[in-house]
Amino acid sequence: MPCSPFREAISARLDGEALGVPSRELDEHLAACADCTAWMAAATLVTRRARLAPAPPVPDLTASVLGALPRELPGAAAAARARLADSALRLALVAVGIAQAAMAWPVLTFGAGAMSAPVHMAHETAAWNLAVAAAFLAVAAGPRLAAGALPFLGSFAALLVPVTLTDLGAGHVHVERAVVHLLVLAGVVLVAAVAWRGRRRPVGAFGGRRVPA
């Protein structure tokens, strides 16, 4: 058998790697081959010198490397502004949701503020307004829900505006009652903004895995 496989095994043994041949077969070959024994001695000496040789001095490049780095990662400022805007939208939506719920709850619970509407109609309207408040709060908690909530919230707001204006002109509703509906409009605008930003957001937006449309 040629010596090449055994010399590779010798090199592997010096490096602490797998030999590729049985260890006993390598030892038997070394016992019978003077050339490989001499080769192993020379390789052992070279390996020992390489491991024990002092490392050449290397200049400390830490300061120059750190100085070459940009002071701010590309896009970091834009990402920070985007997170701030997202947080502001969600906090505003929370405020609108709480205000909407605060107006609906007394009517649903005590009948307060129901004006002259029949009890069941007042309760039904309050339940609807409370559901709208819950939708606002749900989108604030999970912005990915905005796109799904927008169709029904937007439809409600689109119907509410002309109906309220008509009733206001006919004297069927007081101005202070009509102004209350501005909360719904504000909430719908905020939900639309959250949904729009969600579509423009790269992967990882709002903690999700959306791909920009």
Taking only the tens of pLDDT, the chain with its 213 residues reads 688 888 898 998 988 888 888 999 989 989 999 999 999 999 998 888 877 777 778 888 888 888 777 776 666 777 888 889 999 999 999 999 999 898 887 777 765 554 545 566 667 777 888 899 999 999 999 999 999 999 989 998 898 888 888 878 888 777 777 777 888 899 999 999 999 988 865 544 444 444 443
- CB count within 10 Å of CB 149 equals 21
| H helix intervals, 53-141 | 62-68, 76-110, 119-141
Give which of 146, 180, 174, 140 is closest to 160, Cα–Cα: 180
What's the pTM value of the predicted model, to 2 decimals?
Answer: 0.53
Give which of 41, 8, 42 is closest to 25, Cα–Cα: 8
Task: Give the containing element (helix H, strand E) for 186.
Answer: helix 182-200
